[in-house]
C-alpha cells in the first residue's frame, strides 16, 4: 500500500511516519497533474495535515484510495460526504486535545475580559507612567457564559468555568438529557442571554456562519465573543464591523477566515486578543495527536479498520 501526504505535517507525525514508511507527497500545481498520472493507481491511504485538504476531485483521481487519516479533530478540510459516497473511511484525532484546547479557551476568556495582553502592551509602551493606571476591565468570576457546541471540548470548557462560579448555558442541535447547564433553543437566544459567547462547535459547511450578524448583535455592546472552533463558523466581516462601531465589547480569537491571513481591521483593535490557531499546540498534545494518527494508519494498513473513524 502506498501512502500519500497532503499538506504540511506536524513534525512529531512526520518523524513517526517517515521512520515507519516511505510516503509520497502531493506537489502543488503545475506538477500535480503529472504526479497523479504516475502514482494515482498505487495510492491507497492519504495522511492529511490540514490545508489544502482532500476534496472530491483528488479522491476521484485516486481510484484505489481507501482511507484518509487526518491529523486533527476537525475534518473541515476534507470532503467527508464525498469520501462516504466513494466508500473511503476517514479518521481524526479526538479527545487527546480536549484539555489543551479547553485551556486555550479559558485563557482567551480571561485575556479578553481582563485585558492582560493589552495591559502588557500598555506597560511596555511606557504608558503606565505617562497616562496613569490601566482602565478597568471585566470580571470573569460570576459571568454568564454561553457555549455554542457542548461536545467534548465544549464540556471541558464548561467544567473549568464552573470553578469560577459562572452561569453556563449552551446550544446544540438537540438538548442534552441530564445536562446541568441551561439549554438555549437557538444561537441567537443563547447570545442574547450571556456575557461571553464561546464558539466550540465543529467546522465545515453545516456550521458555516452559524454565528452570523443576528447572533453577534444579540450578544450586544457589553458582550464578548471567543472562538476556538473554526473561522468559518463566524461571519468575520460582521464581527469586524460590530467591533469597530462599539456594538461588541471585544473578542478573543484563535481561528479566522482565510488563515493565516488576519485582516488589519482586526489587528488594529486593542479590545481583540489574537492567537495564531494554537489551541492544541503543546508538545504533549501534538505528540499524542501524532501517535493517534499513526495508530489509525497502522490499523488500516493491517486490518482495513480505523481506531477513531469519523
Count CB atoms within 10 A of the CB of residue 287.
Answer: 17
Sign of CA dihedral 175, 176, 177, 180: negative
Q: What is the mean pLDDT of residues 207-224?
A: 97
Please tell me the predicted confidence (pLDDT) of residue 204: 82
Count CB atoms within 10 A of the CB of residue 260.
Answer: 8
Please tell me the predicted confidence (pLDDT) of residue 81: 94
Checking if the pLDDT of 1 tops 80, the result is no
How does strand 250-253 pair with strand 272-274? parallel
How confident is residue 257, by pLDDT bands cut at 50, 70 and 90? very high
Among 39, 277, 298, 299, the one annotated catalytic:
277
Please tell me the predicted confidence (pLDDT) of residue 50: 79
Same fold for the domain at 2-94+283-303 and the one at 98-274?
yes
Taking only the tens place, the pLDDT of each residue in 111-169 is 999 999 999 999 999 999 999 999 999 999 999 999 999 999 999 999 999 999 999 99
Q: Residue for cell digits 497616562?
A: 131
Please tell me the predicted confidence (pLDDT) of residue 28: 87
244 among known catalytic residues: no
Domain over 98-274 is classified CATH 3.40.50.300: no
CA distance 252 to 107: 9
Q: What is the mean pLDDT of residues 245-274?
A: 96
Among 21, 171, 230, 286, the one annotated catalytic:
230
Count CB atoms within 10 A of the CB of residue 5.
Answer: 20
259 among known catalytic residues: yes
Taking only the tens place, the pLDDT of each residue in 152-162 is 999 999 999 99
Among 8, 84, 259, 284, the one annotated catalytic:
259
Among the CATH numbers 3.50.50.60, 3.40.630.30, 3.40.50.720, 3.40.50.880, which is that of 2-94+283-303? 3.40.50.720
Helices (H) and strands (E) in the chain, counts: 13, 12
- List the chain domain ranges: 2-94+283-303, 98-274
277 among known catalytic residues: yes
Amino acid at each position: 500500500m502506498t501512502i500519500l501526504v497532503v499538506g504540511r505535517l506536524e513534525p512529531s507525525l512526520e518523524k513517526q511516519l517517515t521512520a515507519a514508511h516511505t510516503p509520497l507527497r502531493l506537489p502543488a500545481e503545475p506538477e500535480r497533474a503529472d504526479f497523479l498520472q504516475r502514482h494515482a493507481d498505487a495510492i491507497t491511504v492519504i495522511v492529511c495535515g490540514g490545508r489544502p485538504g482532500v476534496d472530491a476531485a483528488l479522491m476521484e483521481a485516486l481510484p484505489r484510495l481507501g482511507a484518509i487519516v487526518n491529523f486533527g479533530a476537525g475534518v473541515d478540510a476534507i470532503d467527508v460526504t464525498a469520501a462516504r459516497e466513494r466508500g473511503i473511511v476517514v479518521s481524526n484525532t479526538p479527545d487527546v486535545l480536549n484539555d489543551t484546547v479547553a485551556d486555550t479557551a479559558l485563557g482567551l476568556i480571561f485575556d479578553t475580559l481582563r485585558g492582560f495582553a493589552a495591559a502588557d502592551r500598555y506597560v511596555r509602551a511606557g504608558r503606565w507612567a505617562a497616562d496613569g493606571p490601566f482602565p478597568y476591565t471585566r470580571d470573569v468570576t460570576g459571568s454568564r457564559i454561553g457555549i455554542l457546541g457542548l461536545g467534548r471540548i465544549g464540556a471541558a470548557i464548561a467544567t473549568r468555568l464552573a470553578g469560577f462560579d459562572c452561569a453556563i448555558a449552551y446550544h446544540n442541535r438537540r438538548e442534552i438529557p441530564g445536562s446541568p447547564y441551561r439549554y438555549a433553543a437557538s444561537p441567537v437566544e443563547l447570545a442574547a442571554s450571556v456575557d461571553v459567547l464561546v464558539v466550540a462547535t465543529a467546522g465545515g459547511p453545516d456550521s458555516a456562519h452559524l454565528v452570523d450578524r443576528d447572533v453577534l448583535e444579540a450578544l450586544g455592546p457589553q458582550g464578548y465573543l471567543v472562538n476556538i472552533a473554526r473561522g468559518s463558523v463566524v461571519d468575520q466581516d460582521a464581527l469586524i464591523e460590530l467591533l469597530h462601531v462599539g456594538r461588541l465589547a471585544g473578542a478573543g480569537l484563535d481561528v479566522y477566515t482565510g488563515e493565516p491571513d488576519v485582516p488589519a481591521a482586526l489587528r488594529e483593535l486593542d479590545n481583540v486578543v489574537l492567537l495564531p490557531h494554537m489551541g492544541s499546540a503543546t508538545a504533549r498534545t501534538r505528540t499524542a495527536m501524532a501517535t493517534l494518527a499513526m495508530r489509525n494508519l497502522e490499523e488500516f494498513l493491517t486490518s482495513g479498520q480505523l481506531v477513531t473513524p469519523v
